[in-house]
């Protein structure tokens, strides 16, 4: 009756294609659930249990394929797998839970598809279950988790992509799917999925009985409808599904929007996220609907599960009439067009372009000039990275591309190959990382030069090898919602570190590759640090079950002036509401320090400096607002307010943040004894100078710890802010030294000669300073050293310090 009603809706076109599939699938869910309940009662009733369990608690069925995707055909099989939770199942372990449940499932099959009877409800296919060669139809959830995470084959992931709980204990089923989510959706981009799916498609072509003729598979898209299998043939339904599935498997771990079981919805989401062009996606969707519609018509006319057009002319004419086509030639032409398009898109994704066959001629001589041990490494790359790879021939183009990149990036090819090989050896325990590079060789531009020239960026890669994934998916706002996909505290901390490492690497690469100014870099790095602090607060609040954090986070130093640089730590003060319990405040700060600074597999999020809080290292890490206020009005020294000039609210309670910022502005602008201020600040600088400042020639890199350098300039500038002096040349000096510092830190240049700037980056370096030669940088350094020294001399011209001078609490001037 339902089949008749469904067919009527199909032919009358009263509901959409998607609604038809969903209607058939929901009907399947209802009938299978009823059949499971009947089978359960029938079999469990035979056990003579003291308390009869009416419902199969702990037992659930997963629908796969088109059933899981709510996309069933008129004559689809239903792909099922079954699991049970032994702790919930209302059958004693001593009675043999697996044995009893297996009998229930066999009874279910008999109800849905009785043997030797023409009528059936559904044909059931159990072949997608784990250990499908075993006689049992069911497995406990514990054994299933072990199987999927340690023994599963690639096709098991593909099967579970479309899994949905359709019968039995729904809550147990959803819990199980949640537990195996990381098996299906890998947190890193995994382009091996393309090979896995391509292999699976080949197996289907070679082994499916409808596709095999005398041991050979022959199928040409230009044959149109002739002997065309609409489901499995080239340019058919399965190829469209594989295109969507492959991209889902690759990107779904990072983009949860793609974790849909429905093919058309998947294509739509892939388009939204820019993984498929809109026109391509639209045409794939139209082709899918058209092929599936024809498949349904074929099945309804034959009342059986077939995927080829009938040879009977009467049935062929009926098909043309239903499709509202005038002749077979136009139908054939339409199918040829669809097949050509679909198969072309399939090949773009699954067949790698092997055009890069040779080392560039201009680099071939470099290969022969390598040291013998380095030449061995290069030859191993050219031979396909043996023994890491299973298919060395496949990876030979990657070896050639790597060598071309190195010979273009470094004057010292021996050292460069050695460093890159060390990195690849450290992270390529399997071929997954190499496969990522093989599939996306444009990534070599973002990988090889930093490994050769930047130990900081290399460390980021070693800590988080898959951070270069970020170059492969569209950039968006710094979304931290994915950090909370897991409820596990440790997983959140690792995810936070990966988030930081990914974005640091992205911003550094953009800057080094002429994609932004130092201002944009500072802005991005500051925004990243801000976002990380906010995420840390959220992690701690969730861990401690606190609805609203009773604190505000005050940033100082580079953080406070929104000029975070490579390798900058974060200077923070945690200020709490006066009503906050002392123990709770300290607990929150301890957790925040752990979230930010605990060294895990992927490093730390940020190094944390809290020395600028009241009483410095000796003071409590958690400061109440009343104490903070009292300290800065009654106990502070002038140097503390010099540090407070570069301060801003980063995160936390907004109302408290406004009060803290207002207090900072108040004490900085409050009238004080100018003579004391100048004596104190000169004394403090002389102390810093004696302990930290180095005597360095202008021919060497050292932007920060030199007289007339960045730290000197920033200190004077903060003093100017407090006493109301403006010096635009000094601000230019800060900009200059900040820019130099970026290059020093990214390319390990501190203490090295200006001539040591890598040739690969030299043009970009000079461009940043609008000069033509390295000697012009020396001239600029001399200029700005003198600007800073002059500003210092002018500020403290009349200040003479006695040897016995001691700094004291601030003397305020009455208004």
State what percent of residues in the chain have pLDDT above 90: 54
The verdict on residue 71 lying in a domain is yes
Share the mean pLDDT of the chain. 87
383 token code pair: 């031979």
Give the span between the Cα atoms of 4 and 636, in whole angstroms: 86
> What is the SS3 string spanning 765-808?
HHHHCCCCCHHHHHHHHHHHHHHHHHHHHHHCCCCCCCCCCCCC
**Which 3 state secondary structure label does DSSP give 621?**
coil
Residues 202 and 245 in one domain: yes
Mean pLDDT of all residues in 621-648: 93
Q: Which helix (H) or strand (E) holds 452?
A: helix 444-453
| CB 606, CB 500: distance < 8 Å | yes
pLDDT at 446: 84
Mean pLDDT of all residues in 665-669: 95
The verdict on residue 496 lying in a domain is no
Residues 160 and 219 in one domain: no
Give the span between the Cα atoms of 438 and 389, in whole angstroms: 12
Q: Give whichever of 43-47, 355-359, 539-543 has the largest mean pLDDT.
A: 539-543
The verdict on residue 498 lying in a domain is no
pLDDT in tens, 481-523: 888 888 889 999 999 999 999 999 999 999 998 778 899 999 9
Confidence of residue 354 (pLDDT cuts 50, 70, 90): very low
The verdict on residue 813 lying in a domain is no
pLDDT at 356: 46
Confidence of residue 477 (pLDDT cuts 50, 70, 90): low
Which has more confidence, 677 or 132? 677
- Mark which of 182, 211, 233 sits at the end of a domain: 182
pLDDT at 688: 92
Range name among 4-18, 189-203, 719-733, 792-806 with the lowest pLDDT average: 189-203
The closest of 802, 806, 796 to 674, measured between CA atoms, is: 796
pLDDT at 596: 96
708 token code pair: 């007339």
Residues 702 and 752 in one domain: yes
**Which 3 state secondary structure label does DSSP give 131?**
coil
As for how many domains the chain has, the answer is 5
pLDDT at 474: 56
Confidence of residue 72 (pLDDT cuts 50, 70, 90): confident
| CB 78, CB 123: distance < 8 Å | yes
The closest of 207, 255, 205, 252 to 232, measured between CA atoms, is: 205
The DSSP-derived string for 342-383 is HHHHHHHHHS------S--HHHHHHHHTS-HHHHHHHHHHHT
Mean pLDDT of all residues in 6-15: 72
| CB 236, CB 291: distance < 8 Å | yes
Range name among 49-53, 112-116, 220-224, 397-401 with the lowest pLDDT average: 220-224
pLDDT at 531: 97
Give the span between the Cα atoms of 166 and 62, in whole angstroms: 6
The DSSP-derived string for 711-766 is HHHHHHHHHHHHHT---HHHHHHHHHHHHHHHHHHHTT-TTSBGGGS-HHHHHHHH
775 token code pair: 């000697």
- Mark which of 453, 474, 504 sits at the end of a domain: 453
State what percent of residues in the chain have pLDDT above 70: 90
Residues 283 and 240 in one domain: yes
Confidence of residue 46 (pLDDT cuts 50, 70, 90): confident
The verdict on residue 167 lying in a domain is yes
Residues 740 and 604 in one domain: no
Give the span between the Cα atoms of 83 and 80, in whole angstroms: 10
pLDDT in tens, 181-236: 989 998 776 666 676 676 666 655 654 545 544 344 455 666 667 788 888 888 99
Give yes or no for residue 355 having a pLDDT over 50: no
- Mark which of 669, 688, 717 sits at the end of a domain: 669
Give the span between the Cα atoms of 76 and 125, in whole angstroms: 10
Q: Which helix (H) or strand (E) holds 554?
A: strand 551-556
Give the span between the Cα atoms of 149 and 130, in whole angstroms: 12
The closest of 467, 590, 592 to 536, measured between CA atoms, is: 592
503 token code pair: 């974005």
Give the span between the Cα atoms of 271 and 247, in whole angstroms: 11
Residues 344 and 223 in one domain: yes
Residues 378 and 327 in one domain: no
Residues 374 and 439 in one domain: yes
The verdict on residue 489 lying in a domain is no
Residues 245 and 367 in one domain: no
pLDDT at 368: 77
The verdict on residue 461 lying in a domain is no
The verdict on residue 570 lying in a domain is yes
The closest of 203, 364, 206, 228 to 307, measured between CA atoms, is: 228
| CB 608, CB 597: distance < 8 Å | yes
**Residue numbers of the domain that contains 99:** 2-182
pLDDT at 569: 94
Give yes or no for residue 599 having a pLDDT over 80: yes
CATH number, domain at 9?
3.30.460.10
Give the span between the Cα atoms of 573 and 464, in whole angstroms: 29
**CA distances in angstroms from 736 to 362, 716, 749, 782, listed in the order given:** 38, 15, 16, 12
Residues 371 and 346 in one domain: no
pLDDT at 210: 54
Residues 110 and 215 in one domain: no
Confidence of residue 118 (pLDDT cuts 50, 70, 90): low
Q: Which helix (H) or strand (E) holds 83?
A: strand 78-84
pLDDT in tens, 765-785: 999 999 999 999 999 999 999
CATH number, domain at 431?
1.20.120
Give yes or no for residue 364 having a pLDDT over 80: no
Give yes or no for residue 614 having a pLDDT over 90: no
Residues 758 and 741 in one domain: yes
Total length of the chain: 815
Bridge partners, 652 (sequence order): 552
Confidence of residue 327 (pLDDT cuts 50, 70, 90): confident
Mean pLDDT of all residues in 662-682: 95
Bridge partners, 748 (sequence order): none
pLDDT in tens, 286-314: 999 999 988 888 888 777 778 888 888 78
């Amino acid at each position: 009756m339902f089949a008749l009603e469904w067919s009527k809706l199909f032919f009358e076109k009263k509901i959409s294609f998607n609604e038809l599939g969903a209607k058939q699938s929901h009907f399947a869910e209802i009938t299978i659930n009823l059949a499971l309940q009947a089978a359960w009662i029938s079999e469990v009733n035979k056990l003579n249990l003291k308390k009869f369990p009416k419902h199969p608690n702990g037992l659930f069925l997963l629908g796969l394929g088109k059933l899981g995707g709510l996309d069933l055909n008129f004559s689809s099989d239903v792909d099922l797998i079954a699991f049970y939770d032994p702790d919930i199942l209302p059958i004693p372990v001593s009675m043999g839970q697996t044995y009893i449940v297996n009998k229930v499932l066999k009874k279910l099959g008999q109800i849905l598809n009785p043997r030797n009877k023409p009528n059936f409800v559904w044909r059931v296919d159990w072949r997608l279950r784990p250990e499908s060669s075993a006689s049992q139809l069911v497995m406990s959830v514990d054994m299933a988790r072990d199987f999927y995470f340690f023994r599963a084959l690639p096709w098991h992931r593909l099967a579970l992509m479309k899994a949905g709980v359709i019968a039995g204990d729904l809550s147990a089923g959803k819990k199980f799917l949640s537990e195996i989510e990381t098996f299906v959706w890998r947190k890193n981009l995994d382009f091996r999925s393309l090979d896995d799916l391509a292999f699976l498609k080949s197996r289907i072509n070679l082994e499916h009985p409808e596709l095999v003729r005398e041991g050979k598979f022959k199928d040409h898209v230009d044959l149109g409808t002739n002997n065309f299998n609409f489901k499995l043939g080239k340019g058919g339904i399965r190829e469209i599904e594989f295109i969507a599935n492959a991209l889902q498997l690759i990107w779904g771990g990072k983009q949860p929007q793609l974790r849909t079981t429905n093919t058309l919805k998947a294509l739509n989401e892939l388009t939204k996220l820019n993984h498929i062009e809109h026109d391509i996606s639209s045409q794939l969707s139209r082709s899918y609907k058209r092929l599936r519609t024809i498949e349904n018509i074929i099945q309804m006319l034959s009342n059986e599960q077939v995927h080829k057009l009938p040879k009977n002319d009467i049935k062929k004419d009926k098909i043309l009439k239903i499709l509202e086509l005038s002749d077979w030639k136009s139908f054939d032409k339409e199918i040829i067009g669809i097949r050509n398009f679909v198969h072309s898109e399939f090949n773009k994704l699954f067949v790698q372009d092997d055009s890069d066959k040779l080392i560039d001629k201009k680099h071939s001589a470099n290969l022969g000039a390598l040291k013998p041990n380095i030449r061995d490494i290069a030859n191993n790359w050219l031979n396909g990275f043996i023994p890491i790879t299973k298919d060395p021939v496949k990876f030979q183009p990657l070896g050639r591309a790597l060598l071309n990149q190195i010979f273009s990036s470094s004057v010292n090819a021996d050292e460069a190959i050695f460093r890159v090989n060390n990195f690849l050896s450290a992270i390529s325990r399997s071929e997954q990382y190499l496969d990522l590079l093989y599939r996306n060789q444009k990534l070599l531009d973002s990988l090889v030069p930093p490994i050769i020239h930047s130990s900081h960026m290399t460390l980021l890669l070693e800590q988080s090898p898959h951070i270069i994934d970020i170059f492969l998916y569209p950039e968006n706002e710094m979304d931290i919602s994915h950090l909370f996909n897991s409820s596990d505290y440790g997983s959140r901390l690792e995810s936070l570190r990966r988030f930081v490492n990914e974005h640091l690497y992205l911003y550094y690469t953009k800057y080094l590759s002429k994609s932004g100014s130092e201002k944009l870099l500072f802005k991005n790095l500051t925004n990243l640090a801000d976002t990380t602090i906010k995420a840390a607060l959220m992690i701690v609040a969730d861990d401690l079950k606190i609805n609203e954090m009773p604190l505000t986070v005050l940033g100082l130093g580079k953080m406070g002036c929104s000029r975070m640089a490579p390798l900058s730590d974060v200077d923070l003060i945690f200020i709490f509401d006066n009503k906050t319990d002392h123990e709770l405040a300290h607990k929150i700060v301890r957790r925040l320090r752990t979230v930010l600074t605990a060294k895990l597999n992927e490093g730390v999020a940020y190094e944390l400096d809290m020395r600028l809080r009241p009483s410095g290292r000796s003071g409590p890490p958690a400061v109440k607002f009343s104490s903070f206020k009292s300290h800065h009005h009654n106990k502070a020294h002038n140097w503390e307010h010099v540090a407070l000039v570069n301060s801003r609210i980063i995160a936390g309670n907004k109302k408290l943040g406004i009060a803290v910022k207002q207090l900072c502005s108040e004490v900085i602008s409050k009238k004080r004894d100018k003579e004391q201020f100048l004596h104190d600040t000169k004394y403090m600088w002389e102390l810093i100078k004696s302990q930290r400042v180095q005597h360095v020639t202008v021919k060497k890199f050292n932007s920060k710890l030199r007289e007339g350098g960045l730290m000197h300039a920033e200190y004077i500038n903060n003093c100017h802010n407090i006493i109301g002096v403006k010096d635009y040349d000094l601000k230019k000096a800060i900009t200059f030294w900040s820019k130099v510092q970026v290059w020093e830190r990214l390319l390990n240049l501190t203490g090295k000669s200006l001539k040591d700037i890598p040739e690969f980056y030299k043009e970009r370096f000079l461009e940043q300073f609008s000069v033509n030669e390295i000697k012009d940088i020396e001239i600029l350094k001399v200029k700005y050293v003198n600007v800073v020294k002059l500003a210092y001399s002018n500020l403290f011209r009349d200040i003479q310090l006695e040897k016995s001078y001691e700094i004291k609490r601030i003397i305020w001037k009455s208004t």
